[in-house]
Amino acid sequence: MARRRRIYGKKRKIHYGRITLLLLIVVVVIFLISIPFRKEKYLDAIDKAVQSTTSEISGTINSVSDVDISVYSNNGIRYTNRHEDIKRLNSFSGANPDEAERAAQVKKLFESIYKLKETVAVEDLSLKKDGYYWIDAEFRGKDEYDFDLFYDIENKTVYIKTEYYNEYSTKNNKQKLQGYEASEEFVNTIEKLTNTNEQPTGQQDEAQE
């Protein structure tokens, strides 16, 4: 009598390591694709920049009569900051010994926004002859940020955008400006920064010599 040969099916070995690696790659790809579309609160971006120990701050302090945060395009070239009647009052740079004190004071202003009382968000600001101060500040370190701070001189109100996007993103065209009631310390600091007759510490020392 012939013996029956038992046929055993081969068990397929499941490579869990490969599956885990594939899932990880998919997650990373989705994360990278989503980066340009993620929202970040402007105030949160400011907090992240000022808390960074590697950030170097620089920029300008100006007066303007009208605030325009829209992004425009001409022959494929995007541009912004079409504020009316821009007058440059001062500059600041943490890397420049003559302007380092100003840079520290500007950073102090941005740090203090969290402590200010929030007022209302507006779509635009009314035209006022030399009625606003505009601080255009760049924070450069591990991450780079470009911030705009507007100050209504008459009403002593600070304004920043509500969301943070790339400076040349057209999403800025739908932005609102969130208002904050300036504290006495904020007012004193920004008035000192906009005083064109005041020289930085380094230049004062040179003048005395």
> What are the tens digits of pLDDT across the range 133-150?
999 999 998 889 999 999
- Residue 64's nearest CA partner among 135, 123, 119 is 135
For residue 92, count CB atoms less than 10 angstroms from its CB and return exposed for 0-12, middle for 13-18, buried for 19 or more: buried
How far is residue 139's CA from residue 142's CA, in Å, rounded to a whole number?
10
pTM over cut 0.85: no
- DSSP element (H, E) containing 158: strand 157-161
For 1-11, how does the pLDDT look when each residue is reduced to its tens digit (9 = 90+)? 555 555 555 55
Give pLDDT, residue 202.
46
Q: Which two tokens stand for residue 54?
A: 């590697």
How sure is the predictor about 37, in pLDDT bands with cuts at 50, 70 and 90?
very low
How far is residue 76's CA from residue 166's CA, in Å, rounded to a whole number?
16
